[in-house]
Amino acid sequence: MKRFHVHVVVPHLEESVRFYSSMFGAQPTVLKDDYAKWMLEDPRINFAISARGGETGVNHLGFQVDSDEELAALREQVVAGSVQVQDQPGAQCCYASSNKYWTQDPAGVPWETYHTLGNIPLFGADSRQTPKGETCCAPAASIPAVVEKKVGCC
């Protein structure tokens, strides 16, 4: 089953955690110095915020799926619509290890579809990780403007 994913860059994490905890009626399921995530069932959403610099606002949208089979099926669906994708297997970002792919809508909004494999102790732990204040976890090769824009990670 898919879970909608939203990642927002915020200027002050503590204030935003307080706001969203109140809005959702729940504390974050993941809370770090620079990142927080709520895994809500009603509505079924993975809502993440980060304070690592970058443009404030919606960073990217996406879907979190439960299996690599579901990830492959969604990828095939997107490619069948002549939409270009950038695969990113084994990504290490946002305190998680995931298989994923990126695309963007016609307005330039980045979309990430991924299957989380497990947790990791760092925001980003592989060569795709960039310094604080820059985008993270984006694929090395870009599809039209996806990586150059403001793609973060989940």
Beta strands at 35-41 and 3-9: parallel, antiparallel or unpaired: unpaired
Task: State the pLDDT at residue 154.
Answer: 58
- Residue 128 sits at the vertex; the CA angle it makes with 122 and 133, to the nearest 5 degrees, is 70
Report pLDDT digits (tens) over 79-136.
Answer: 998 889 999 999 988 888 899 999 998 878 899 999 989 888 877 765 344 444 334 5
Looking at 1-154, list the stretches that DSSP marks H as alpha helix, in order from N- to C-terminal side.
13-24, 68-80
pTM for this entry:
0.77
Average pLDDT over residues 25-33: 96
Average pLDDT over residues 44-58: 90
Average pLDDT over residues 38-58: 92
Whether 152 shows a pLDDT value over 90: the answer reads: no
Average pLDDT over residues 129-151: 46
DSSP 18-43: HHHHHHHTS--SEE-SSEEEEEEETT
Whether 25 shows a pLDDT value over 70: the answer reads: yes
Arch. (CATH architecture) of 3-119: Roll (3.10)
Average pLDDT over residues 31-38: 96
- Can you give the length of the chain in residues? 154
In the chain, domain spans: 3-119
The sign of the CA dihedral 55, 145, 38, 30 is negative
Task: State the pLDDT at residue 146.
Answer: 43
Task: State the pLDDT at residue 137.
Answer: 60
